[in-house]
Structures are given as C-alpha cells and as structure tokens.
Chain A
Amino acid sequence: MYLLPLGLTGRGRSDKVSLQIFTGESNVQNISKFIWSIAVILGCIAGSASAEGDATAGKQKNALCQGCHGIKDFKMAYPKVYPVPKIGGQNVDYLVSALKAYRDGDRANETMHAIAADLSDQDIEDLAAYYSAVQ
C-alpha cells in the first residue's frame, strides 16, 4: 500500500504494452506517472538539502558577527564586562541553538538579540556551518 504514490499497485495489465507496474490506460499515462513520481522524490531530497547550512553563504552574511567575534579579546561592555566567546570551530548544533535562543529571546542579551533578530532559519544554519568549520 505504501507503494501507491509511485503507481506501483501491482495490477498492471498484461494485454497492454506498458510498464506492467503501472495501471494507466496507455503508455503515455504510465510514463508521465513515472516521471512525476521521480520529480516528487527529487523535490523532497532537494528541499531537505537546502535546509542544511551552506558555509559559503554563511561567509557572505557574517560582517556583523565579525565586528565583535573577529576581534581578539573583544569584551562586551553592557550590562556586564566580559569577553565575547570564541565561536570559530564551535559545535554546529550549539551555534544554531544559541542564535535561535538569542533571536527568540530565550537567551537574554540585547546586543545578540538585535543582531539575531534579522536572521532567518536558513541564515542561522549558514552562519553556523561557516563558523563551525572556519579555522
């Protein structure tokens, strides 16, 4: 039953010259069903691939990040004085969750909230992909 979306109902008609796994009335119908099935599968794969981060895209979006995280020993001044963390080479999943937490307000930091507020999920994945891999 799980093969129905592919048209693989198993009820091919032997009196027709066709892919016997499809049940269309003609060869053209069978072939177009087949092509659509492949297109849907490829679309699903492509969609999930783009959700992952692209480090090259991340590098194009990181000017604001570098303003603080690209300077050795840079310190946050308000509300407390403390060093900004080193982010190059950090755990990619942690970077994603941190940026989302700053963006959504789960982690309270006015500067990081302001910077993360304009980031889409894709931006965050791309930046995390870049920074987790950068030397």
Chain B
Amino acid sequence: MLNRTLGCLFALLLGLSGVVMAEGTDGAQYIEDKGCVGCHGKDGNAMLMGAPKLGGQKAGYIVKSLMDYKSGARNNAIMSGFATALSEEEMEAIAEYFEEQPSTLTVPKH
C-alpha cells in the first residue's frame, strides 16, 4: 500500500517535472524552427528588415502582436506568414523567451 502510494507520487512528480522542463526550452527551440531568428536574431535584438527589438519586450504585447498578424488585424506581408504558422501556445513560449532576453528596451521616466 505504502509502496504503491509512493510509486504514484513519484510518477506524478516525474510527469510534472517534464512539463516544467518543456516550458523552459520550447521558446528557444521555436524561434529557430519557426524562423524568428532570421530577422529578430537569437536575443530578439537583430533589427533586420526593419524588425523591432524584441529582447525584453512585454510577452503579452508580443503575443497580442502575433495574434493580430495571424488574424489579419495587423497587416504585414512578412509577419503574416510567420504568425499564421504558430499556435497560441507556441506564441506564448516564444514571447516569454524574448521577454527574458538581454534588453535595451526601457520604460522611460521622462
């Protein structure tokens, strides 16, 4: 009885740790697989093709932008294609990844 209980708890913890680990690495993988690095760079700050800096940007804003590109609410021939290929979970992972990157973006005091 005790062994089974412990066994179940152990399996549960193993499963949960898998979820936590996956969240940490997904964003870094997605930006390579989904083509973000091509213009935004690995840290989001490349600014190629007129791209805005994303390093340190608010994740919620990045998600909102990607969803608008996907729905067409925001028109951009380049971003439309990239965003259409993303699910909401992927958008959130990518956005959280960029928010954690080294940043020169600020909330100015004046």
A residues sitting closer than 8 Å to B (CB atoms) are 59, 62, 66, 69-73, 75, 80, 82-91, 93-94, 97-98, 106-108, 131, 134-135
Complex alpha-carbon distance, A32 and B57, angstroms: 57
Cβ-defined partner of B56 (8 Å) among A62, A86, A107, A108 = A86
Cβ-defined partner of A86 (8 Å) among B57, B64, B73 = B57
List 14 additional A-B contacts (Cβ < 8 Å) besides A82-B61, A82-B64, A98-B52.
Answer: A70-B107, A82-B60, A83-B58, A83-B60, A83-B61, A85-B58, A86-B105, A86-B106, A88-B107, A88-B108, A90-B105, A107-B74, A134-B106, A134-B108
A residues less than 8 Å from B107 (CB atoms) = 69-72, 86, 88
Complex alpha-carbon distance, A108 and B50, angstroms: 20
Are A89 and B110 in touch, CB under 8 angstroms? Answer: no
B91 on interface, CB distance cutoff 8 Å: no
Are B106 and A135 in touch, CB under 8 angstroms? Answer: yes
B residues sitting closer than 8 Å to A (CB atoms) are 47, 50-53, 56-58, 60-61, 63-64, 73-75, 103-110
Complex alpha-carbon distance, A42 and B61, angstroms: 45
Q: Is the interface of A mostly helix, strand, loop or mixed?
A: loop
| Contact A85-B106, Cβ < 8 Å, known A90-B52, A91-B53 | no
Complex alpha-carbon distance, A88 and B56, angstroms: 11
CB distance from A88 to the nearest CB of B (A): 3
Q: Who on chain A is nearest to B106 by CB?
A: A88
A residues less than 8 Å from B52 (CB atoms) = 90-91, 94, 98
Are A106 and B75 in touch, CB under 8 angstroms? Answer: yes
| Contact A85-B57, Cβ < 8 Å, known A70-B109, A72-B107, A131-B108 | yes
Cβ-defined partner of A94 (8 Å) among B51, B56, B104 = B51
